[in-house]
């Protein structure tokens, strides 16, 4: 679809001018039309932005006066605009544009490729703009993230940190806050992860006389308190604590090794993969020690994994280095909404997992009585069989990894909290396979819901959006 050029045709005929790909044309009214009369919104002319790097498109642009790429009305008063990696060049010619499309998970190639690619660049630019403000406008960020965060640069990593409240809203507070939090984490590591031998080694004043290599003689015996030896059974003994924790460490170890076995980042043979696993293990162990009420429950590793992945793959070196600490605190934040799902005693209470599942059930009944009746009554599929995993693991196990990252964009950016949108997405999942469910019996329905078929995540999110009251 390289037609649609006005002005002088220069040597390379296949190029598409950037102004044509401006999102001004890609508003819903103009879908499918190549030549809309005029963009509805005022076009902000950003001459400074038009720095094409010597491509043929330049010539075209001299001839025609192209509007700038970013057209959203809300964007105004750009102070420091990052022009960085955002290049509004023809998408078909720029490989980065193409690959970014696929990595941001937008379905297959379709006729609105232009719209997607140009809107990707536009979105990247919007995000960069928003993130570069002095005071971040959270509501705006939430709205933008709900459409999906582009998988470019540090955008997702920084946005998630902002959405979870880890980074404060004022940009200038960022470095102070990060330093504080990271040193807190280092303290946790020191205190909680060290084994008793280390502790005893540090505690005592180590007598140098003992180490003289020429000496002969009986080694002096030091009396120690009742609890300070490895076989002590006293509850105050650090050794006893250590051996009791060994059960916890074993459990965490087992789960960490099973996290995302298909992804090299977690389960490869490389040094990095081992380090990543170690980082996950440490963070989960520290969480378990700091929260004795809920300790470690199988599944927490799945909730931590996407956070750690996004932060660790941040191209910004300093952020990637501290990914473990950042992921830990964001994990705590995220889990604060969902803690009660992991606590067994609260299962039957008003905040427990059963109550949430019944909320989902009620939602389904409200939107699709027929399907609800079929599942509840006819095929007798107890929602606990499928919804338990969906809800406690925040849908990380139901979709492939890139899709679940996209899903988490919406989850984390919901102004009414992640649980509300989680329920709507679960309901949307049921609605999307409606025909198959209605046609099936207990066995087939259960199999279908426990191995949810792969689906277009954007479609799913649209359906979920429609369910919003």
Q: Shortest approach of other proteins to residue 324 CB, angstroms?
A: 23
Q: Are 200 and 225 in contact (CB under 8 A)?
A: no
- Residue ranges in 244-283 that form contacts with other proteins under rule CB under 8 A: 246
Shortest gap between Cβ of 283 and other proteins (angstroms)?
22
Distance CA 337, CA 355 (A): 14
Query: In the complex, what is the shortest distance from the CB of residue 406 to other proteins, in angstroms, rounded to a whole number?
Result: 44
Is 198 a binding residue for other proteins by CB under 8 A? The answer is yes
Q: Rounded distance, CA 126 to CA 137, Å?
A: 13
CB 159 within 8 A of CB 141: yes
Please identify, using beta-carbon distances, which residue of 53 and 216 lies nearer to other proteins.
216
Binding flag, residue 210, other proteins (CB under 8 A):
yes
Q: Could you say which of 213, 271, 292, 469 contacts other proteins (CB under 8 A)?
A: 213
Is 235 a binding residue for other proteins by CB under 8 A? The answer is no
Instruction: Report DSSP state, residue 170.
Output: B
Q: Name which of 35 and 206 has its Cβ closer to other proteins.
A: 206
Strand-pairing partners, residue 135, are 170
To the nearest whole angstrom, how small is the minimum distance from the Cβ of residue 207 to other proteins?
8
Residue placing its CB nearer to other proteins in the complex, 231 or 469: 231
Stretch that binds other proteins, among 41-49, 127-135, 199-207, 256-264 (CB under 8 A): 199-207
Q: How far is the CB of 222 from other proteins (least distance, A)?
A: 5
Phi, psi of 403, deg, nearest 5: -65, -40
Residue with smaller CB distance to other proteins, 29 or 221 = 221
Using CB under 8 A as the binding rule, whether residue 348 contacts other proteins is answered as: no
Sign of CA dihedral 87, 90, 91, 94: negative
Residue of 158, 97, 102 whose CA lies nearest to 132: 158
The CB-of-100 to other proteins minimum distance in angstroms stands at: 48
The CA-atom distances, in angstroms, between 58 and each of 35, 61, 117, 282 are 20, 5, 19, 53
Among 233, 290, 351, 439, binds other proteins (CB under 8 A): 233
Q: Which of 143, 229, 366, 447 binds other proteins (CB under 8 A)?
A: 229
- Applying CB under 8 A, the span of 27-35, 230-238, 420-428, 435-443 interacting with other proteins comes to 230-238
CA atoms of 271 and 261, how far apart (whole Å): 16
- Among 79, 108, 215, 293, indicate the residue that binds other proteins (CB under 8 A): 215
Q: Is 54 in the site for other proteins (CB under 8 A)?
A: no
Q: Using CA atoms, how far apart are residues 171 and 79, in angstroms rounded to an integer?
A: 14
H/E element holding 108? none
Q: Among 197, 275, 345, 450, which residue interacts with other proteins (rule: CB under 8 A)?
A: 197
Closest CA to 66 of 51, 82, 48, 47: 47
Find the shortest distance in angstroms from Cβ 243 to other proteins. 6
Nearest CA among 132, 141, 143 for reference residue 170: 132
Report the C-alpha gap between 406 and 151 in whole angstroms. 9
Question: Does 202 sit near other proteins (CB under 8 A)?
Answer: no
Q: Which residue, 409, 451, 406, 400, is CA-closest to 263?
A: 400
**Closer to other proteins at the Cβ: 73 or 211?**
211
Q: Give, as ranges, the residues between 156 and 195 that touch other proteins (CB under 8 A).
A: 195
Distance of CA 171 to CAs 123, 145, 367, 372, 408, Å?
21, 19, 42, 47, 24
d(CA 189, CA 185): 6
226 near other proteins (CB under 8 A): yes
Shortest spacing between CB 281 and other proteins, in angstroms:
17
Q: Which stretch binds other proteins (CB under 8 A): 66-74, 108-116, 156-164, 223-231?
A: 223-231
Residues that bind other proteins (CB under 8 A): 195-198, 200-201, 204, 206-207, 210-211, 213-224, 226, 228-233, 243, 246
């Amino acid at each position: 679809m390289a037609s649609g050029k006005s002005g002088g045709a220069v040597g390379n005929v296949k190029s598409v001018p950037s102004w044509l790909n401006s999102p001004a044309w890609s508003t819903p009214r103009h879908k499918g039309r190549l030549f809309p009369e005029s963009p509805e919104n005022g076009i902000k002319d950003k001459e400074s932005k038009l720095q094409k790097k010597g491509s043929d498109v330049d010539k075209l642009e001299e001839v025609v006066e192209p509007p700038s790429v970013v057209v959203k009305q809300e964007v105004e008063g750009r102070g420091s605009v990052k022009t960085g990696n955002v290049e509004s060049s023809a998408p078909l010619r720029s490989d980065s544009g193409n690959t970014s499309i696929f990595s941001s998970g937008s379905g297959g190639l379709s006729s609105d490729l232009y719209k997607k690619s140009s809107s990707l660049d536009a979105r990247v630019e919007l995000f960069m703009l928003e993130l570069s403000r002095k005071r971040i406008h959270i509501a705006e960020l939430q709205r933008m993230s709900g459409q999906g965060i582009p998988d470019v640069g540090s955008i997702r990593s920084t946005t998630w940190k902002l959405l979870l409240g880890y980074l404060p809203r004022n940009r200038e507070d960022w470095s102070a806050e990060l330093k504080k939090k990271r040193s807190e984490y280092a303290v946790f590591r020191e205190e909680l992860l060290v084994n008793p031998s280390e502790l005893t080694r540090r505690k005592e004043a180590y007598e140098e006389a003992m180490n003289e290599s020429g000496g002969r003689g009986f080694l002096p015996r030091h009396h120690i308190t009742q609890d300070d030896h490895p076989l002590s059974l006293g509850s105050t003994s650090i050794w006893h604590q250590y051996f009791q924790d060994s059960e916890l460490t074993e459990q965490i170890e087992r789960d960490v090794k099973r996290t995302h076995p298909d992804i090299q980042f977690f389960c490869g043979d490389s040094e990095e993969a081992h380090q990543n696993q170690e980082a996950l293990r440490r963070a989960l162990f520290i969480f378990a020690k700091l929260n004795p009420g809920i300790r470690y429950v199988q599944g927490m590793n799945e909730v931590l994994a996407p956070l750690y992945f996004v932060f660790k793959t941040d191209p910004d070196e300093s952020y990637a280095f501290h990914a473990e600490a950042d992921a830990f605190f964001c994990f705590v934040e995220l889990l604060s909404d969902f803690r009660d799902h992991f606590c067994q005693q609260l299962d039957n209470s008003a905040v427990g997992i059963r109550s949430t599942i019944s909320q989902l059930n009620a939602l389904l009944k409200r939107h699709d009585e027929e399907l609800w009746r079929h599942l509840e009554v006819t095929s007798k599929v107890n929602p606990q069989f499928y919804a338990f995993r969906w809800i406690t693991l925040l849908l990380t196990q139901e979709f492939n990894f890139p899709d679940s990252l996209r899903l988490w964009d919406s989850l984390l950016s919901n102004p009414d909290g992640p649980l509300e949108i989680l329920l709507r997405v679960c309901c949307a999942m049921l609605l999307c396979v409606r025909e198959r469910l209605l046609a099936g019996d207990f066995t087939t329905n259960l199999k279908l819901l426990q191995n949810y078929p792969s689906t277009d995540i954007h479609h799913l999110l649209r359906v979920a959006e429609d369910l919003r009251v």
